[in-house]
A = this chain, B = another copy of it.
Amino acid sequence: MTLSWNRYGKARVRLVKVLKARPAHELVDLTIDVQLEGGFGPVYDGDNTLCVATDTMKNTVYAFARLFPIDHAEAFASRLADHFIDKTAVSKVRVSTSEHPWTRLADHAFVQPGGEQWTSVVTREAVGTTVVSGLANLVVLKTTDSAFSGYPRDEYTTLPYTEDRIFATAVTASWTYRSGFTAFAARSAIRAALVETFAAHQSRSVQHTMKAMGEAALRASSDITGITLTMPNRHHLLVDLQPFGLDNPNEVFVATDQPYGLIEGTFRR
């Protein structure tokens, strides 16, 4: 039996880089795969001498994100490819990127178009009809003006206080219209209030910003009696670049899917 073809690498390295050089921050959101081909036969026999660890590939992506600009994903991928082609046994490097575009809301805030849905639940009983409208999967992110500190520390607390973190969430909102109301175009003003408040708020916590958003929504339409907000905290973890002799001034992050904080609240007049 012969090994007639082989390839290996690290898939789905999630990289978010924030550029804060100018007042309007820039955001790059990439998922990157690094794959190597070459003379790796000995690895298949149990000898790892030539086997660049896929964990090292991942680290290299994050270190390069600090060392080099990412004007275009293609150029950044080329840098990575040039690095790995020099490793022993490697004959071919394939770096694939998938960029997730964001649209600017403000200097420090972005919305990710797509996936957003506009919802409604109409409940009809003999006594009448209740209309709850809402939206789901409104994905927003702010690159600064978000802190989380002062929380209690017990024997299982390791998270350091921070005055500056990324705050990313997928807002689900549902609001109840007063009985008989039918001017459902109010959705537009409520959505705008939610988004603008998220962008402008000096956040001390997800809860803190949620309340400001709820207040803004209730101000935006006098025809709603209450609003429920659900906001997962999509954690963006600051990558520890110290092992590579690099600092990380709130610039290079790994976007994580799970676990996530989950904050829910209902606000009524």
Question: Which A residues lie at the B interface, using CB under 8 A?
Answer: 1-14, 33, 35, 40, 43-56, 58-60, 63, 72-75, 77-78, 80-82, 84-85, 87-88, 91-101, 112-126, 129, 131, 133, 136, 148-152, 154-159, 182, 184-185, 204-208, 210-211, 214-215, 218, 226, 228, 232-233, 243-244, 257-269
Contacts and interface: CB of A to CB of B under 8 A. Distances in A.
17 contacts: A1-B218, A4-B226, A5-B266, A7-B263, A12-B258, A44-B210, A48-B151, A51-B151, A51-B207, A59-B156, A74-B122, A78-B124, A93-B124, A94-B124, A97-B122, A113-B114, A114-B115
B1 A92 contact: no
A156 B60 contact: yes
A252 to B, nearest CB: 13
Nearest to A154: B56
A258 B214 CA distance: 34
Please tell me how many copies of the chain the complex holds. 4
A62 to B, nearest CB: 9
B44 A149 contact: no
Contact of A267 (B3, B77, B118, B126): B3
Q: Which 7 A-B pairs have the closest CB atoms?
A: A114-B114, A81-B124, A46-B204, A113-B113, A72-B184, A12-B258, A77-B122
Given A51-B205, A152-B50, A267-B1, A98 B123 contact: no
Among A49, A74, A114: residue with most chain B CB under 10 A: A74
A38 B89 CA distance: 40
Contact of A51 (B129, B152, B233, B265): B152
Contacts of A136: 98
B131 A118 contact: no
B118 A98 contact: yes
Among A1, A12, A49: residue with most chain B CB under 10 A: A1
A56 B182 contact: no
B119 A116 contact: no
B3 A266 contact: yes
Nearest to A136: B98
Given A263-B8, A268-B1, A97 B120 contact: yes
Contact of A149 (B48, B73, B117, B215): B48
Contact of A207 (B40, B124, B150, B154): B40
Given A50-B152, A55-B157, A97-B120, 16 more contacts: A1-B269, A4-B268, A6-B266, A46-B205, A53-B152, A55-B158, A56-B159, A63-B156, A74-B182, A75-B182, A78-B129, A87-B152, A92-B125, A93-B122, A94-B124, A99-B119
